[in-house]
Each structure stands twice: as C-alpha cells, then as structure tokens.
C-alpha cells in the first residue's frame, strides 16, 4: 500500500509538470470539459424551457376554449330567449302556418307579419350586434328573413348543419362560413362570400313542439375572432380556430406574409378566415420552399389531424404549421361545435435561449481550437477577474455606513441582509440589487420602489432609511428591520384569528392604504404575505404593509410604466375581477377587494375561493359569489364585520367601500371593535413571540423575496402579458 501511494503521488506530480510545460493541452481539456458541461446544461435548459412553455401553451388553450364556450353559451341563451318571446312566437307561428298554404312568391312578398317580426327582433338585433335573421320552417324553407332574397328558398347546403341541430330541439352556434347573399365586408364592400355565422334556436308551439327555427346572424370578426386574437404572444405566438375540414375559421396574424407566400390572393381584402387550409406544405415556405402539389392534396398538419380526431394534445418537440414553419403548440377540440382551437409559437422564438447557448459554446469551441495561446491568456484574465470579484465580495460586506451581518433571503433580482448602521447601531434590513440583474429596467424598478415607499410615512407602512450605490456599482437601500410574522404565517401556524384581532389588523391596513391611495398610488399586491405583524416600541400587533414594488400610479400618463401594457399583475388568490379582466383600469377599489379577502382569510383560515388551477380561480373571482365567512368556517361573527368583508368582495367596484377610510369606519362600528386590547396583544406575544419570529422583512416562507421573483403558485405574485406589444415571449404561467 505504501508503494501504491507513492506511485499515485509520483504520477500526479509528473502529470502536473507535463501540463505546466505543454500548455496546448489546456485548450483540449477545456473543450472536453465544456462539451460535458454543455451536454448537461443544454439538456437541463431544454427540459426546463419545454416544461414552462408547454404549461403556458396548455393554459392559454384552456383559457381560449373556455372563453369561446362561454361566448357560445351567451349567444345560444340570447337566441333561446328571443325564440321563446311571446310576441316573437306569435308572429313566427303565423308566418310558419301561412307558409304551408301559400305559394313561394306569396310568402316572399312584403306582409304585415314580416314587418311585425322585424320590429319584434329589431331591438335585440341592435343590442346584441346581430346583422340579420332567418325564420325557417320544419322543411328548412326560409319563411322570413332580413335578407329579402332568401325568403322562400330551401335546400341551402350552408344552412343545413345548424338548422338540423335546431330542428332537433338544440340551440346551436354555427362555425363561420361564406355568406350566400350580398353582405358588407369589414372593408365596407358589398359582395357574396363574406364570412358569417349564425346562432339558432327552435321555435315551439303551445304544445312545446318544434315548428321552426329562429337563426340570428353574427359577424364573426366582431367578437369570435377577437377572442382568439387575445392569444397572441411575442413575435410569433398566435391562437386560431379551424373546422372539421381543416379550414381556418379565424384570421391568422400573418395574413400579410401569407399573401407574399402566395397562400392568399393578392387583394386588399384578403383574409385567412375561410380561405386558408391548415395543411403541412412539407417544408418552410418562408425560406423559399414551394410544394409540388395543390394545397388541397397536402396532408393536414400534425396538430390539425390529431384535433379533428378528437385528441387534444401538446407538442413541445416541434412540428410544421400551415406555413411549414417549425412550431410548438397545444390544441383542443370542441365536439359540440366541431371546432379546433390551437395555440402555436415558432420553435425559433420558444427555444431562442437554447440557440443562444449553442452559439455561445460554438464560439468558445472555435476560439479554443484556433488560438491556444489566446485561450491561455484569456484564462489568466479570467483568473484575475475572479480574484477581483472575490475582493469585491469581501468589500461588499461594508456598504457605506452599513455593515452586513446575515443574509435573510434571496430572489431573482436581489438579496436582503440584516445589518446595522455603523454610527447609529440601529438594526436595519438592507436590500441589494443582484449584479447579474443590473440593467436600465431593473435599476428603474428598484429606484421606483424606493421613491414610492419614501413618499409614504404612515406608521403602518414600512419605512425607508437610505438609498445608495457602492463604488463597485452595487445598488442598495436600507429599511426598517422587522422581526415579526406575516399574516400568512400567522394563520398557517396559529389558525383563524378572533374577530376583535382581525378588526384591529384590518383597521391598520386601511390606514396605510388610505395614505397610499390619497397619494394616487395603488398597491396591486395586497396579500397576507405582504402584511407583517410586529411588536414595535413595546406595542403589540403593529401592522406593517410591505412590498410596493408592483405599485401603480393612478395618473401614470407621462410616466414610464413598470409593467407592460395589458399586463396581468398580482396574486391570484387576492385579485379583484377588474384586475383580471382589465388590468390597466385598476384603482383603489382593487386594494379594498384584497383587504376583504385578507379579512376573510384571517377569520376562516381559507382563501375566498379554492380552485385546481389559476384559470378556474380567475373565473371564480369574476363570476362566483363567495360563501360568507360564518358559513364557510362555521363560526359566529358579527353581522357588521361579515357585511363589511362581503361588501369588499363585491364584483362591481361601485358596491364596495369607496375608500380605505370608509372601510375602516365601517369596521369600527362592529361590536368587537376596540376589544382587542394591549393586554390581549401582550399575552399573545408573550406566549408565541419566539415562534412568531420567522422570516423577517420582505422574506417569504419559501426563502424567496417578495417583489423580487415572479413565482408560479396561486398564492404568489404573477405577471402575465396579455398584449403582444409588451410580451417578451416568455409564457411561463402561474
């Protein structure tokens, strides 16, 4: 064993000497090491990108299909309502009975019944933006219509599918199809073949038997296509719909490019709706490729074939779209309407980080291969830079007058340390901007958070002490150090809180928010994790509102906005309906909704709504009426407090308390208001203070920093672009 040990030691020494002399070996070793690193890094990044993008695509498709089905349901409900209107049924019955005895020419003539039906339907057509109607008998003969040329006609193939469904007793919305009469197109020209669609409902007699069909004409470009256009993401992401024949029934975002590719006729009114077949040309037509057969002879794209077979799916490995461009996508099929809905993004955009990584490694390989001496010099330079970086880290322990003591947490944009002022010796939380995150956007957001918070001096708002930048370029600011517990931890660890304490907490939150709202600021991310409960100056249960990083100025007309236009920002469990439907219209009532949700959480130990996913959760915030806290948790609370909380959770902003102070006054009228005393607080903190001192200022239980990272669970902040102009192409969804 002694001989073996000496032999191994001798071999290592000889190898070291050889490597020192033969410097050309180092580039080869570097290539080998980089190849191994690249292999694992590339696989990890590719797997992460596919997972994130796939999840985002699936969510977008679910949202698009849900929105379409909601829209279809609304249209069908409207048609059924009109078809069952007593006046409409009375006039329709006369027309349908008359039509059985009269000649076609007589039925097609102008009559009082036709005019009466048009009058009865006129208000509804105008209110719901319908552009025409049909009244059809059981033989599918048109007995009345807003288009005079259709009256008396039958056997129109384009109408058969939706008329058959209605005659069987179902209300139904047809897919878009070319009109068979002269109509005005979106460009104002009158012609045949303009895309149109109908919603129809059966007309019944007094014995509830189907005697005809009322069909209302819908312009698809008004709402149908707009719903699908919401799925535009980045430079290439698009959502569109197609029918069972593989024909696109909505407009592509690439219509102009499709004209240049020859897939659409070169006319000013060329649109992909009803003119483009979702078929695979065999290669990328944007690079000059042209198929050798007619488009009708090409196979359906992989996505379209699977969807038409009724197989919803997701493909993040890539396939060719109708242009032959490699894309990834998610799709679903709506069997009732025989419509496929797909969300696709060009592979080049989705995997751009991977391409950049490949190019970076290829550049390094080339440099290593061509110039060993240069690589060696580069290695020396890197070593010096690393040494300087280590020295900079040591120097960073002293930021001006502040000494860093302990790291409290770290997020995507920065780090928070506990420290103290060298002269004042006051405990301080110091927030540093990551060196890797320094750019104009991150610095602007960092400075904006400081400037906004500094405008607020309410005792229940966290205080900023200082802001600065070190000579090494590290941005930081110092704020008061809090060693209490946030409301999320409070409920998680100690369960629902008594009514008197909830009133005490909510009143302080309202005070902080009233000052912010009075300064024209909306917090936009009020949630339990952003409200700290502390023991300050021997006073128990002092509330501090944190994290103004997502705050929005109400009069942000000339200011640079911190988030892009149309961006959905906040925490799903506490987001108001308007912040989901129209993020740019949020105001003070959005924060008041969140305060009500916090009160609900404190009383019951549960959020207002439970859901399996963010799409379902958002839908509940928009539509569902919450269960009162007393029923949800089976607890006895005062009617005044319950009414106050439920009024905050109203869907309509006008029904909520108009200001945070109004809410505070409403809460103060509760019988339990003021019954949570200093003695009560002292007793609670005396029993729980050690367990309550968990993560401190701005540090979440997961170890990340509130406001630093955009996280993807329902109780954390989300930031989803809904407008393609502001999208970065990253479709990671919560």
Q: Which residue has the tokens 């040309």?
A: 281
- Residue 684 to residues 482, 570, 604, 628: CA-CA distances in angstroms? 18, 32, 19, 27
d(Cα 397, Cα 417) in Å, to the nearest integer?
10
d(Cα 720, Cα 734) in Å, to the nearest integer?
8
H, E, C per residue of 161-193: HHHHHHHCCCCEECCCEECCCCEECCCCCEECC
d(Cα 413, Cα 120) in Å, to the nearest integer?
62
- Residue 424 to residues 27, 133, 376, 465, 540: CA-CA distances in angstroms? 53, 80, 49, 12, 24
H, E, C per residue of 350-416: HCHHHHHHHHHHHHHHHHHHHCHHHHHHHHHHHHHHHHHHHHHHHHCCEECCEEEEEEEEECCCEEE
d(Cα 49, Cα 356) in Å, to the nearest integer?
13
With residue 118 as reference, give the H or E element that holds it: helix 112-127
Query: For residue 177, how many other CB atoms are within 10 A of its CB?
Result: 21
d(Cα 580, Cα 567) in Å, to the nearest integer?
9
Judge contact between 429 and 705, C-beta under 8 A.
no
With residue 262 as reference, give the H or E element that holds it: none
d(Cα 480, Cα 133) in Å, to the nearest integer?
67
Judge contact between 634 and 465, C-beta under 8 A.
no
Q: Which two tokens stand for residue 647?
A: 């009024």
- Residue 12 to residues 19, 24, 31, 269, 693: CA-CA distances in angstroms? 11, 19, 21, 77, 52
Return the C-alpha torsion angle 173, 179, 182, 186, nearest 10.
Answer: 80
Q: Which residues have C-beta within 8 Å of that of residue 490, sequence separation ≥ 6?
A: 497, 528, 533, 602, 692
d(Cα 455, Cα 515) in Å, to the nearest integer?
10
Q: Which residues have C-beta within 8 Å of that of residue 376, sequence separation ≥ 6?
A: 23, 26, 27
Return the C-alpha torsion angle 374, 378, 381, 386, nearest 10.
Answer: -170
Rg (alpha carbons) of the chain, rounded to whole number: 33
DSSP letter assigned to residue 699: B
The answer to whether 315 is a known catalytic residue is: no
Spot the catalytic one: 243, 483, 525, 541.
525
Query: Which residues are known catalytic residues?
Result: 525
């Amino acid at each position: 064993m002694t001989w073996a040990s000496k032999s191994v030691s001798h071999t290592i020494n000889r190898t070291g000497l050889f490597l020192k002399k033969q410097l050309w070996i180092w580039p080869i070793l570097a290539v080998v090491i980089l190849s191994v690193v690249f292999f694992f890094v590339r696989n990890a990044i590719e797997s992460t990108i596919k997972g994130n993008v796939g999840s985002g695509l699936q969510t977008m498709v679910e949202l698009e299909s849900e929105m379409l089905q909601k829209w279809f349901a609304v249209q069908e409900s409207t048609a059924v309502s009109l078809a069952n209107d007593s006046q409409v049924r009375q006039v329709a019955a006369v027309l349908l009975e008359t039509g059985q005895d009269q000649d076609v020419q007589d039925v097609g003539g102008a009559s009082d019944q036709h005019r009466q039906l048009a009058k009865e339907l006129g208000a509804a057509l105008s209110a719901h933006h319908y552009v025409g109607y049909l009244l059809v008998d059981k033989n599918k003969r048109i007995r009345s219509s807003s288009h005079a040329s259709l009256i008396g006609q039958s056997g129109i193939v384009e109408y058969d599918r939706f008329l058959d469904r209605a005659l069987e007793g179902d209300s139904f919305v047809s897919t878009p199809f070319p009109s068979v009469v002269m109509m005005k197109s979106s460009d104002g020209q009158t012609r045949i073949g303009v895309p149109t669609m109908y919603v129809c409902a059966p007309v019944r007699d007094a014995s509830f038997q189907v005697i005809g069909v009322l069909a209302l004409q819908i312009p698809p470009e008004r709402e149908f296509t707009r719903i699908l256009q919401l799925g535009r993401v980045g430079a290439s992401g698009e959502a569109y719909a197609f029918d069972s024949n593989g024909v696109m029934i909505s407009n592509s975002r690439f219509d102009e490019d499709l004209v240049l590719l020859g897939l659409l006729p070169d006319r000013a009114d060329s649109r992909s709706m009803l003119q483009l077949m979702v078929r695979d040309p065999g290669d990328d037509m944007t690079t000059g490729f042209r198929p050798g057969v007619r488009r009708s002879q090409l196979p359906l794209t992989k996505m379209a074939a699977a969807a038409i077979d009724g197989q919803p799916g997701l493909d993040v490995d890539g396939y060719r779209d109708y242009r032959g461009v490699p894309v990834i996508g998610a799709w679903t099929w709506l069997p009732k309407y025989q419509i496929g809905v797909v969300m696709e993004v060009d592979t080049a955009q989705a995997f751009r980080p991977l391409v950049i990584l490949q190019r970076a490694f290829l550049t390094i390989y080339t440099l290593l291969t061509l110039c060993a001496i240069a690589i060696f010099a580069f290695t020396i330079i890197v070593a010096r830079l690393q040494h300087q970086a280590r020295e900079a880290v040591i120097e960073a322990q002293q930021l001006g007058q502040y000494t860093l003591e302990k790291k409290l947490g770290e997020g995507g944009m920065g780090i928070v340390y506990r420290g103290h002022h060298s002269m004042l010796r006051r405990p301080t939380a110091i927030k540093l901007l990551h060196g890797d995150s320094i750019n104009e956007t991150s610095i602007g957001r960092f400075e904006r958070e400081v400037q906004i918070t500094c405008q607020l001096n309410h005792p229940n708002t966290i205080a900023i002490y200082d802001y600065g930048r070190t000579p090494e370029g590290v941005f930081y600011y110092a704020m008061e150090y809090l060693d209490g517990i946030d409301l999320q931890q409070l409920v998680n660890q100690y369960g629902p809180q008594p009514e008197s304490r909830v009133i005490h907490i909510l009143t302080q939150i309202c005070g902080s928010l009233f000052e912010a709202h009075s300064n024209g600021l909306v917090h936009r991310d009020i949630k339990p994790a952003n409200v700290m409960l502390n023991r300050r100056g021997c006073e128990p249960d002092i509330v501090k509102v944190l994290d103004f990083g997502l705050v929005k100025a109400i009069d942000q007309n000339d200011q640079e906005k911190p988030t892009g236009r149309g961006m959905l920002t906040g925490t799903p469990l506490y987001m108001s309906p308007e912040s989901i439907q129209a993020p740019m219209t949020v105001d003070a009532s959005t924060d008041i909704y969140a305060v009500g949700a916090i009160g609900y959480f404190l009383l019951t130990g549960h959020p207002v709504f439970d859901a399996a996913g963010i799409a379902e959760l958002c839908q509940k915030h928009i539509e569902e009426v919450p269960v009162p806290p007393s029923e949800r948790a089976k607890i006895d609370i005062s009617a005044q407090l319950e009414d106050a909380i439920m009024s905050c959770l109203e869907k309509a902003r006008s029904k909520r308390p108009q200001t945070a102070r109004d809410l505070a006054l409403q809460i103060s009228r509760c019988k339990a208001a003021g019954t949570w005393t200093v003695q009560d607080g002292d007793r609670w903190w005396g029993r729980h203070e050690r367990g309550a001192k968990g993560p401190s200022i701005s540090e979440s239980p997961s170890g990340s920093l509130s406001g630093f990272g955009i996280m993807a669970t329902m109780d954390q902040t989300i930031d989803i672009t809904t407008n393609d102009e502001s999208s970065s192409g990253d479709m990671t969804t919560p």
